[in-house]
Amino acid sequence: MTPRTITELAAALRDGSTTPRTLLDAALAHVDRTEQDLNAYLAVTRELGYMQADAASHMLEEHPDTASPLCGIPMALKDVLCVDGIDTTAGSKILRGFKPPYTSTAVQRLFDAGAVCVGKTNCDEFAMGSSTENSAYGPVGNPWDIERVPGGSSGGSAATVAAGSVPYSLGSDTGGSIRQPAALTGVVGFKPTYGRISRYGLIAFASSLDQIGPFTRTVEDCALVYTTIAGHDPRDSTSDPRAVDDPLASLHAGVAGMRLGIPREYLGEGTEPGVRDAVQAAFRVLEAQGATLQEVSLPSTDVALSVYYIIAPAECSSNLARYDGVRFGSRVERPSLTDTYLQTRGVGFGNEVKRRVMLGTYALSSGYYDAYYRQAQKVRTLVSQEFEAVFKEVDAIVCPTSPSVAFPMGSRDDPLSMYMCDVVTLPANLAGIPGISVPCGFVDGLPVGLQVIAPRFEDARVMRVAHAYEQATDFHAQLSPYASAAA
């Protein structure tokens, strides 16, 4: 049976051709069959799932007309999202056995809508990585080729949707960690405007950059999940209070008459030829639908990567200072408190986390703060201003999501080559603007993603453009070998 979308499953639940328990049974069975190859999950929440499935059945029986489209439908959560009483490790040894006493706002809104949780997905440790090879619990395989990475840091969330285990999942995006794995696994991945979705209950990496968002099979499904979890939350001081536009209202409006910009810096020499060809073919599809495409320039792109890798590690250094073996998580006992701190962090943190903590601590240290962190924040403002200037000329930007397709595991052991994976996604995080990746082709059987970026709070516009492209092509309907075998 071909994996179905949220929209299709919602209709099946309402016409009685399936039940929440039946859908959960199928999801769990598929996870059981694929986990040995994919390693997409760090915890499978069977007991919680069946409780939620039964509650969803009651909701559908009592209120079939008002129940959410997500009611009774299985989903998965990146293991940086807290769920009350469920192990939440952020892919790190230092949080092994940690059970949060609360649930994140975004997740609670899904639960309130009747969503059914299948499990917590594998990720790069504390969301630091572009390949999901940095997890303390082993790498995740790409459902298109398990010898290749699924992207990161939300690799498990991307892989489980691409494999057909669940129709949607949640991830987090600090520099591309939703959009890049979506591109590499052939699914839809959306990063909202910063402040649109509450970060309460999200284990922090870089607080001014982190955003929660969905992985789905279609843009319409993405809009359904987004409208459920978006909105103001007083528990998050960075949550924006203004009303959320409903992307479903304009989803089918098309792109005729829209002005779309192509940043010349995003198709540079670092972009693989096959990726460039696929994305340029996507441009022609949008043009054929009535959009006007024009070249634009974002001159600070060449320094955005450097800026990101000063700001993100600095915030990481501050956020991860709380993991000391005293209040929660694992602890290595030593005779002195200082030695306990050092040994706990030395054993608990992996190499990439240590690298970024050291980089961030250095950038924030006396004598270097002004030279590095303060200067990086000034350039960050320049990046935002360049986007604002471009958006006076065009309605949205279209470009590659990743400069490459999925690469073999272990092939990028140089940190800089790994950091380059995010070169066309992280500028949107620095500016706090929305972006989406939608499948746009294949190179040697591996998916390519088209990225759409729009001004702040124009999340609905991003989905409108992506949906128009999706409806004119069938790349989103192509299934990975694991999804094709889904029962």
CA–CA distance, 62 with 50 (Å, rounded to integer) = 18
From the number of C-beta atoms within 10 Å of its C-beta (0-12, 13-18, 19+), residue 97 rates as: exposed
Grouping H, G, I as helix, E, B as strand and the rest as coil, residue 257 is: coil
Residues 163/34, Cβ–Cβ less than 8 Å: yes
- The single-letter code of the amino acid at 448 is V
Angle of the 219-229 helix axis to the 105-112 helix axis, nearest 10? 110
Report the candidate in 101, 11, 21, 27 with the shortest Cα–Cα distance to residue 55. Answer: 21
Q: Computed from CA positions of residues 254, 256, 259, 263, in that sequence, does the dihedral angle turn out positive or negative?
A: positive
Q: Are strands 259-263 and 396-400 parallel, antiparallel or unpaired?
A: parallel
Backbone angles phi, psi at 74, to 5 degrees: -70, 150
Apex 207 CA angle, 231 and 88, nearest 5: 85
Active-site option among 92, 153, 404, 480:
153
CB atoms within 10 A of CB 88: 24
Q: Computed from CA positions of residues 41, 47, 53, 55, in that sequence, does the dihedral angle turn out positive or negative?
A: negative
Please state, in angstroms and as integers, the Cα–Cα distance from residue 240 to each residue in 191, 228, 432, following that order: 15, 16, 12
Is 191 a residue of the active site?
no
- The single-letter code of the amino acid at 443 is V
Active-site option among 68, 78, 198, 404:
78
Report the candidate in 424, 208, 194 with the shortest Cα–Cα distance to residue 310. Answer: 208
Is 177 a residue of the active site?
yes
CA–CA distance, 446 with 405 (Å, rounded to integer) = 6
- To the nearest 10°, the Cα dihedral for 115, 118, 124, 129? -50
Active-site option among 104, 135, 169, 177:
177
Residues 329/323, Cβ–Cβ less than 8 Å: yes
Tokens linked to 8: 């299709």
Asked, as a colleague might, if the bond just before 153 is cis with ω within 30 of 0, I would say yes
- Which residue numbers are catalytic? 78, 153, 177
